[in-house]
Amino acid sequence: MATKSLLKRESELANKNRQLEILSNGIFQSGELPKFKDKISETNQFPLKARKLEILQINVGYMCNQVCEHCHVDAGPDRKEIMTRKTMMQCLEVIKNTGAHTLDLTGGAPEMNPDFRWFVEEASKAGIKDFIVRSNLTIIRANKKFHDLPEFFKKHNVHVVSSMPHWTRGKTDKQRGDGVFDKSIQALKDLNAIGYGIPDSNLRLDLVYNPSGAFLPGDQVALEKDFKKALLDDFGIHFHNLFAITNLPISRFLDYLIASENYEDYMYALVEAYNPVAVANVMCTNTLSVSWDGYLYDCDFNQMLELPVNSKVKHISDYNEELLEGREIVISQHCYGCTAGAGSSCQGSVA
């Protein structure tokens, strides 16, 4: 289990251009597999264009208490990219005026940003319908100062979305680190205790499932059923919905795919599972991703590949929702991850 980010390890895959090169060379350059642009052109879906904004996703920093094997952010304790209060204030101006119905805070572990609580308090005043914080669960148990996070989330009516790769200890700890499963279970119990995730409760608690290896997620509904039964039977834990998310072949997951000699087979699996219906609903068409330093991207994955939005508006300080609507989405072969099978987004399946 790695304890440092690719960046800290000075891995060549910490370089975004190297990742993009890999995704364009080899099987895609030789024509063995079609490039994403050509594939979506077959069904007249190129270029993908942004529709009306529904989800504003803000990444408040890459620092995290965990170093998960599959992390597309390459997050970890050694990452120092943290959103400043100045950028948060620029974001707040946008949050107050946006037409988006969902505000989605992510990281890293967003709670590790020193201004996180201030930002949540301020943002919650804007009255956005669905206010999500992506919490990795273990952060709640990591340090005493985080123990009251469930109460804090409740106070501000935050919708908690948390990662949970499996309902068994072995598979969870292998992906996310030793002890993660037990801490996550305790954190879920803490959240349940104050009403989060309980059937019919307005305090929403959803889980995110990522496959713990070089395979695609199964049917989201079936997985949700299995997760619910196992977590309830074994630990008395409730949650609302499960989002099954496909691992995209970038950053640490790409590093894993290459090191384990699974890269080509995985890309084949993604291309074979290509679903044009998922393309029609892919999340970049209704989402905007804001990086820790305020730059705008079509999605969190493009942010990590440093592929900025194709628009005159590049930064949150120049934000203009009308100008951003209709922009052409920036694509590469990693996009196959969102169009495989039932599709994948930060909100789970899309088809």
Cα–Cα dist 164/172, whole Å: 7
Shortest Å, Cβ 283 to another protein = 21
Which spans in 4-132 are helix H? 16-24, 36-42, 85-97, 116-124
Strand order in the sheet with 55-59: 242-244, 205-209, 159-163, 130-135, 102-106, 55-59, 287-290, 296-297
Shortest Å, Cβ 216 to another protein = 6
Would you say 5 or 344 has its CB closer to another protein?
344
Q: Identify the burial level of 17 via C-beta atoms within 10 angstroms of its C-beta, where 0-12 means exposed, 13-18 middle and 19 or more buried.
A: exposed
Question: Which amino acid, 178?
Answer: D
Would you say 30 or 44 has its CB closer to another protein?
30
Cβ burial 192-207 (10 Å sphere, 16+ → b, else e): beeebbbeeeebbbbb
Where does this chain bind another protein (CB under 8 A)?
A: 166-168, 170-171, 209, 211, 213, 215-219, 222-223, 226-227, 268, 272
Both tokens of residue 38?
Answer: 């050509």
Shortest Å, Cβ 165 to another protein = 9
Question: Which amino acid, 282?
Answer: V
Shortest Å, Cβ 211 to another protein = 7
Shortest Å, Cβ 220 to another protein = 11
Cα–Cα dist 305/334, whole Å: 10
Would you say 220 or 333 has its CB closer to another protein?
220
Would you say 57 or 220 has its CB closer to another protein?
220
Would you say 31 or 170 has its CB closer to another protein?
170
Would you say 206 or 298 has its CB closer to another protein?
206
Shortest Å, Cβ 83 to another protein = 35
What count of residues does the chain have? Answer: 351
